[in-house]
């Protein structure tokens, strides 16, 4: 009976952590979506709100890391349970870094607006890529919430689409800068934003990989696991 009670309490502790991680994920998802909107509008006060919101994300990271550390010390989980906690810690780190990239996007939108007229449609250049990455992040959080390894596999494959879109954006911006030097400043800001979006796609992919690690016990980082699974369908 004491062992059963301990196990139930561990499950409750872990579920509380998962709920808090999903809360953090929701904040980060909103932060990213708001940052892309801010990049389109250049609203300075909106940008400042997004940057300020990153403090909440950072505080959640510190709090969750501490909670996970205490859970390991107190419950001493083994095998599958320890794997779940360690993967959750990595998810927390990726979410915090997505928040950092979102603040970069907001700052770029504010910077372009403050400098005045730009000769390129900076938002339209990254619009499709941003939509792909927002979808990836939403699906990654959904896969983590439901521990859906099949959805995670499909999500990992989507990262190649975002990478392709980034290369396309980069080629477009280089063409702008070569043809009209007046576009260089805005084009460089847009390129930094595209790179931030590409990194957010990478972090979403990482979260999907951790879902597979939790469910299947397989560390598929730096492998073609997702491609091979989809090819076998």
**Taking the CB of residue 168, how many other CB atoms lie within 10 A of it?**
14
DSSP 119: S
- pLDDT, block means (10 residues), the chain with 233 residues: 61 92 97 95 91 94 95 84 92 97 94 76 92 97 96 93 96 93 89 97 96 89 68 58
The pLDDT assigned to 10 comes to 82
| CA–CA–CA angle 6, 12, 13 (5° rounding) | 85
Rounded Cα distance, 76 and 136, in Å = 34
Q: What is the Cα Rg of the chain in Å?
A: 20
pLDDT digits (tens, 9 = 90+) for 173-192: 999 999 998 888 889 999 99
DSSP one-letter code for 139: H
Q: Is the CB of residue 212 less than 8 Å from the CB of residue 218?
A: yes
- C-alpha to C-alpha distance for 30 and 21, rounded to whole angstroms: 14
Looking only at Cα atoms, what is the longest distance across the chain?
75
Contacts of residue 227, Cβ cutoff 8 Å, sequence gap at least 6: 157
Distance CA 35, CA 199 (A): 14
Report pLDDT for 2.
42
Cite the DSSP H helix spans in the chain.
Answer: 2-41, 44-75, 79-115, 122-146, 149-179, 184-216, 225-231
pLDDT attached to residue 148: 96
**Both tokens of residue 39?**
């990049």
Residue 154: what pLDDT? 92
CB half-sphere exposure, 5, CA atoms < 13 A: 2
């Amino acid at each position: 009976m004491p062992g059963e009670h301990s196990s139930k309490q561990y499950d409750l502790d872990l579920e509380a952590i998962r709920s808090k991680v999903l809360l953090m994920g929701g904040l980060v998802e909103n932060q990213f979506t708001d940052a892309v909107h801010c990049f389109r509008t250049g609203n300075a006060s909106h940008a400042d709100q997004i940057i300020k919101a990153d403090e909440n994300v950072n505080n959640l990271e510190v709090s969750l890391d501490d909670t996970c550390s205490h859970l390991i010390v107190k419950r001493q989980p083994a095998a599958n349970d320890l794997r779940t906690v360690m993967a959750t810690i990595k998810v927390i780190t990726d979410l915090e870094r997505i928040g950092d990239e979102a603040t970069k996007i907001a700052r770029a939108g504010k910077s372009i607006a403050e400098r005045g007229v730009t000769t390129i449609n900076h938002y339209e250049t990254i619009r499709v890529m941003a939509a792909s990455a927002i979808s990836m992040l939403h699906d990654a959080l959904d896969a983590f919430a439901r521990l859906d390894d099949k959805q995670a596999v499909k999500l990992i494959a989507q990262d190649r689409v975002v990478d392709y879109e980034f290369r396309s954006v980069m080629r477009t911006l280089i063409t702008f800068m070569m043809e009209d030097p007046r576009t260089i400043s805005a084009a460089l800001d847009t390129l930094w934003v595209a790179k931030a979006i590409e990194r957010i796609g990478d972090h979403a992919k990482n979260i999907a990989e951790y879902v597979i690690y939790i469910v299947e016990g397989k560390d598929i980082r730096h492998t073609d696991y997702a491609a091979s699974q989809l090819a076998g369908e």
